[in-house]
Amino acid sequence: MGGRDDELRLTLSLGLGVTTRPSFQPTHIHRPSNSMHNHIRNGSWNELFQFSDRNADSRSFLRGIDVNRLPTVVDGEEENGVSSPNSTVSSISGKRSEREAEAEAEAEAEAEAERASCSQGSDDEDGGGGDASRKKLRLSKEQSMVLEETFKEHNTLNPKQKLALAKQLNLRPRQVEVWFQNRRARTKLKQTEVDCEYLKRCCENLTGENRRLQKEVQELRALKLSPQLYMHMNPPTTLTMCPQCERVAVSSSSSTTCHPAAAAGVQRPSMPLNPWAAVLPIER
DNA sequence: GAATTATCTTCTGTTACTTCA
DNA sequence: CGTGAAGTAACAGAAGATAAT
């Protein structure tokens, strides 16, 4: 694709607790580079990612949670500890032992999630017989809630976080991974919609401004064409911009600023006005 | 040090399933 | 009850980053 880094960044909150950006700038998806990711994996996030009391609370209601797992359907790629293209099994490429350890941990998590589902007597057996096609199962409200909370804290997970979360929710790590993928996609989509709306409004403002200016030009031309009027006119009115507050003011000659102290300053051309400034800030 | 390869992670688009009006 | 729309879990493939060779 090439221009992936040019994609709009989803930095706005959308009620997700993500940072907001004050004014419109086509920003970029912040995709942590692998180095950063590795850095995070190697410490900071792991230290940060300790389930808080809030999560501990949520853990309590997770008892007896709907596991949403087909006991008989074997997820070949991860059950075997073999990494899928999407798998986040390993932590640092090349560190074999560490990777294997994590793969084992993940396989264990898989097995555990599966065992849990079996013990709870999943009633989703229908279609489980031999149908290798995916069986989509809804996550419970509680599971979604915890995932959502975690996503608010950080929208990507390192393998350890993923494992911990999967274990906490009795889900397969792959499910957690997929949930985060989809969640990021949804966030991005929402952001794109917001940005789109914003651009639309900018466009409308520009169109309006353009119309107004055209009209003004016409009026001025008309004035110029009627010499009598032209001769008896006051000195041409000029638009000036106060260098201090950047407000446009109509003046005849003397005062160019709303702030007399700044009158000695440079007189900036009044045009063009910043069309973006006219657009109301969008709540994000 | 540059080139190549392997591995990992994320994004994107799509499909399949669930829920609801 | 059947149906279509919307939401979303799950998947596949492409691309970028990085470490190892």
Would you say residue A174 lies in a domain? yes
- Chain B: positions less than 7 Å from a protein CB are 6-14, 16-19
End-to-end CA distance of chain A: 29
Residue A139 has pLDDT above 50, yes or no: yes
Answer yes or no: are the C-beta atoms of A169 and A62 closer than 8 Å. Answer: yes
| pLDDT, chain A, mean | 58
- CA-angle at A196, arms to A270 and A198, nearest 5°: 40
Give the closest residue to C11 (Cα–C1′).
Answer: A134
Percent of chain A with pLDDT over 70: 33
In a domain, A204, yes or no: no
Domain membership of residue A222 (yes or no) is no
The answer to the question of residue A284 being in a domain is no
- Residues 77-116 of A near strand C (Cβ < 7 Å)? 77, 84-86, 92-95
Interface residues 55-74 of A with strand C (CB < 7 Å): 68
* Helix orientation angle between A96-119 and A159-169, rounded to the nearest 10 degrees: 10
Higher pLDDT, A236 or A109: A109
Helices (H), chain A: 34-41, 44-48, 53-61, 76-79, 96-119, 141-153, 159-169, 173-225, 227-231
Q: With respect to residue A229, please indicate whether it lies within any of the assigned structural domains.
A: no
Q: Is the CB of A192 under 7 A from strand B?
A: no
| Domains of chain A: total | 1
CA distance A247 to A258: 8
In the complex, which nucleotide's C1' lies nearest to the CA atom of residue A189? Answer: B12
pLDDT tens, A255-269? 444 444 444 333 333
Question: pLDDT tens digits, residue range A14-57?
Answer: 333 333 333 333 333 334 333 333 333 333 333 333 333 333 33
Any atom of strand C under 7 A from CB of A75?
yes
pLDDT value for A226:
78
Q: Which range of residues forms the domain containing residue A39?
A: 4-190
Residue A180 forms part of a structural domain? yes
Taking every pair of Cα atoms in chain A, the longest distance, rounded to a whole number of angstroms, is 98
Tell me whether residue A196 is in a domain.
no
Does A169 map to a domain? Answer: yes
Distance in angstroms, CA of A68 to C1' of B20? 21
Q: How far is the CA of A23 from the C1' of C13 (A)?
A: 35
Q: Which nucleotide is nearest to A10 (CA to C1')?
A: B11
